[in-house]
Amino acid sequence: MTDAKHVIVIGAGHNGLACAAYLAKAGRRVTVLEAAGQVGGAAVTREFAPGFRVSACAHFSYLLDARIAKELELARHGLATARADLRTVSLQPADEHLVLNGGTVEAGRVNEADRAALAAHHAAMLKFARVLGRQHHRIPPRLLGGGRSNAIGAALLAWDIRRLGRDDMREFLRVAGINIFDIVEESFESPALKAALAFDAVLGTNLSPRANNSMLALLHRLSGQASGTAGGVSLPAGGMGAVSEAFAKAATAAGATLRLSAPVKQIALNGDRVAGVVLESGETLAADVVVSNADPKRTLLELLGARHLETGFVHRIRHFRTKGMAAKLHLALDSLPGFPRLPAALAGERLVIAPDLVYLEHAFDAAKYGETSPQPALEISIPTVHDRTLAPAGKHVLSAVVQYAPYVAEASTDAARAQLLENTLNVLESYAPGIRGKVLASQLLLPADLEREFRLTGGHWHHGELALDQMLMLRPVPGAAQYAMPVDGLYLCGAGTHPGGGVMGCAGRNAAQAVLRAERA
């Protein structure tokens, strides 16, 4: 036991826990240090009002890696699904609501041509997303140098694109770098359908539908699976915190030690090699390897310190784009809100308020100047329809991603929060008349709040924007995309590394492999 290398993992987010589990399984002595009093990072279930619990940041599971779930036996460790294969219901202000199930229109005023186009679009997107999905378990290759494993990695990536076949490869190369706006405008007529599809591409990003890169964000979103459905969305029993708890049990079962309420103050060096960490409490822990689940900026600029890094590298890290644009709304409701024209059976599906492209674009326009969206777009979950453990009997919880909410300076957050809450409730009231009267308690987390609550620099829940210039071998920055940092013994394992955000676990698994591979080398 004492001979085994000691690895410290900073942060018990799902990726930190996954990394710890794999390293412990490989026989390493692993200690996970978590600043908060519970595990999970941004995949966490919290009580936001007495008796009401909610997935406090991420609220749906759509990317959880099937291989990791199997390898770490997450089901045996308690992970269950409250509801699989959620439909998307795009609420319409005055028309029949649009109900989408993958590539099928189940309800809504959509013509035959659009229905056929949707089936084709969905199939094509899944096919292209699979190219990204195949990269999830790979350490991104460097484009020059780095020896044989890199050359093989680069060749595999090229082959994954190539094997799409001539026509699909051409289409993939055409659409991968551009925007969802042009794609839906090319293929569809229904404004509601266009907007519902476009919203998926900009969810959680700092992009408007017209902005290039939004296709890539969509493909990322579709690159995984949920409950066996590619591109599906599901609701874990007990909220997203239950996913993290399953990861934590897997890690401890493999032998990792978990310490909560143990915030790390500093990564300690011995010469130019990692020596361990110093906790806020002053306690020093020695380690051979430190893996950080914290975001890249926090890890390198705060915990390590820019003075230990080369200037050009620091420059790149500083410009890693981490400003969040999505806020999170939690409402404790006295009873289930009523949405006119929506069958009650559909109230627990994934509800979307983004009636047309102009609505989305205008919501973004305000935010890009640092102003509050007058009419934000929403992704809504009422998890209590499927999961009664989250609220007192008869009561409900509404959880919504609110876009767009610019990152504003600490001083003006209170005013911005009040304004955005008011705007959001007004939008909700227009789709669910009477909902304001049912609100028992509310909580709105702006990007600045997410930054504070979950220690996410900039409040971006993917740790950093998912764009062409911040993906694969460019994530978080060139020279740090292979999980190993320029300081010996220091690794990153969070969403700020490949393959990015979403509760997936792959970054943690890949980082563990990078650690093990470096030992062998």
Partner 1 sequence: MPQNTYDAIVVGAGHNGLTNATYLARSGLKVLLLERNPWIGGAAVSREIEKGWTYSNCSYVCSLLRPEIFRDLELARHGLQVVPYGGGVTLTSRGDILGSYADHELKRREFARHNAHDGDAYDRYSTEVMRQCKFIRPLLLRTPPDPTSLRPRDIREMIFLSKEFRKLGEQVIYDTIRFYSMSIADYLGEFFESDLIKAALSGSGIIGTALGPYSPGTAYVLLHHYMGDVDGSIGSWGFARGGMGAVSKALASAFKSFGGEIVTDADVVRVLVSGNRVTGVACANGNEYRAKTVVSNLDPKRTFTKLFDPRDLNADFVKRARNFKIRGSSGKLNIALDGLPEFPALGKDNPLRFGDMHFLESLAQVERAYDDWKNGTWSKLPYLDLLIPSMTDPTMTPAGKHWMSVFVQYVPSTIQGKPWTDEDRNGFKNTVLDMIGRYSPNFKSLVRHVEVRTPDIIENEVGLTDGNIFQGDLSLDQMLFNRPFPGFAQYRGPKKGFYLCGSGTHPGGGVMAAPGANAAREILHDLRRPNLVPEGWHDD
Among residues 85, 171, 302, 488, the one that binds partner 1 under rule CB under 8 A: 171
Q: Pairing state of beta strands 289-292 and 6-10? A: parallel
> Candidates 8-16, 73-81, 208-216, 232-240 — which segment interacts with partner 1 by CB under 8 A?
208-216
Residue 178: both structure tokens together: 């551009």
Residue 429: both structure tokens together: 């009231």
* 148 binds partner 1 per the rule CB under 8 A: no
136, 220 in Cβ contact below 8 A? no
Among residues 222, 342, 474, 514, the one that binds partner 1 under rule CB under 8 A: 474
* 173 binds partner 1 per the rule CB under 8 A: yes
Cross-strand partners of 286 = 276
Q: Which is nearer to partner 1, 15 or 373 (CB)?
A: 373
* 375 binds partner 1 per the rule CB under 8 A: no
Q: Pairing state of beta strands 257-259 and 235-236? A: unpaired
Task: Give 105-172 as a 3 state SS string.
Answer: EEECCCCHHHHHHHHHHHHHHHHHHHHHHCCCCCCCCCCCCCHHHHHHHHHHHHHHHHCCCHHHHHHH
Among residues 368, 414, 422, 430, the one that binds partner 1 under rule CB under 8 A: 368
Among residues 102, 255, 263, 478, the one that binds partner 1 under rule CB under 8 A: 478
Among residues 67, 70, 163, 170, the one that binds partner 1 under rule CB under 8 A: 170
Contacts 24+ apart (CB under 8 A), 433-440: 433/338, 433/340, 434/337, 434/338, 435/331, 435/333, 435/337, 437/334, 438/333, 438/334, 438/335, 438/337, 439/331, 439/332, 439/333, 439/334, 440/49, 440/52, 440/332, 440/333, 440/334, 440/395
**Shortest Cβ distance from residue 435 to partner 1 (Å)?**
31
The SS3 assignment for 50 reads coil
Nearest to 281 by CA among 260, 304, 265: 265
* 163 binds partner 1 per the rule CB under 8 A: no
> Candidates 25-33, 174-182, 250-258, 280-288 — which segment interacts with partner 1 by CB under 8 A?
174-182
Residue 488: both structure tokens together: 């010996």
Q: Which is nearer to partner 1, 48 or 172 (CB)?
A: 172
Nearest to 300 by CA among 486, 122, 428, 174: 486
* 365 binds partner 1 per the rule CB under 8 A: yes
* 453 binds partner 1 per the rule CB under 8 A: no
**Shortest Cβ distance from residue 216 to partner 1 (Å)?**
9
* 156 binds partner 1 per the rule CB under 8 A: no
* 127 binds partner 1 per the rule CB under 8 A: no
**Shortest Cβ distance from residue 517 to partner 1 (Å)?**
20
Length of the chain: 521
Task: Give 380-419 as a 3 state SS string.
Answer: EECHHHCCHHHCCCCCEEEEEEEECCCCCCHHHHHHHHHH
Q: Which is nearer to partner 1, 194 or 396 (CB)?
A: 194
Task: Give 58-79 as a 3 state SS string.
Answer: CCCECCCCHHHHHHCCCCCCCC
446, 405 in Cβ contact below 8 A? yes
Q: Which is nearer to partner 1, 115 or 210 (CB)?
A: 210
x-marked contacts with partner 1 along 179-198 as a string, rule CB under 8 A? ---x---x------------
**Shortest Cβ distance from residue 368 to partner 1 (Å)?**
6
Residue 379: both structure tokens together: 């992704």
* 178 binds partner 1 per the rule CB under 8 A: yes
Residue partners of 480: CB distance under 8 A and separation at least 6: 296, 313, 317, 486, 492, 497
* 210 binds partner 1 per the rule CB under 8 A: yes
* 369 binds partner 1 per the rule CB under 8 A: yes
Cis peptide before 93 (omega within 30 of 0): no
* 473 binds partner 1 per the rule CB under 8 A: yes
**Shortest Cβ distance from residue 142 to partner 1 (Å)?**
7
Among residues 361, 429, 453, 488, the one that binds partner 1 under rule CB under 8 A: 361
**Shortest Cβ distance from residue 185 to partner 1 (Å)?**
8
> Candidates 101-109, 241-249, 398-406, 462-470 — which segment interacts with partner 1 by CB under 8 A?
462-470
* 169 binds partner 1 per the rule CB under 8 A: yes
> Candidates 64-72, 413-421, 469-477, 490-498 — which segment interacts with partner 1 by CB under 8 A?
469-477
Q: Which is nearer to partner 1, 322 or 381 (CB)?
A: 322
- Applying CB under 8 A, the residues found at the interface with partner 1 are 142-145, 162, 166, 169-171, 173-175, 177-178, 182, 186, 207, 210-213, 312, 315, 319, 321, 361, 365, 368-369, 467-469, 473-474, 478-479
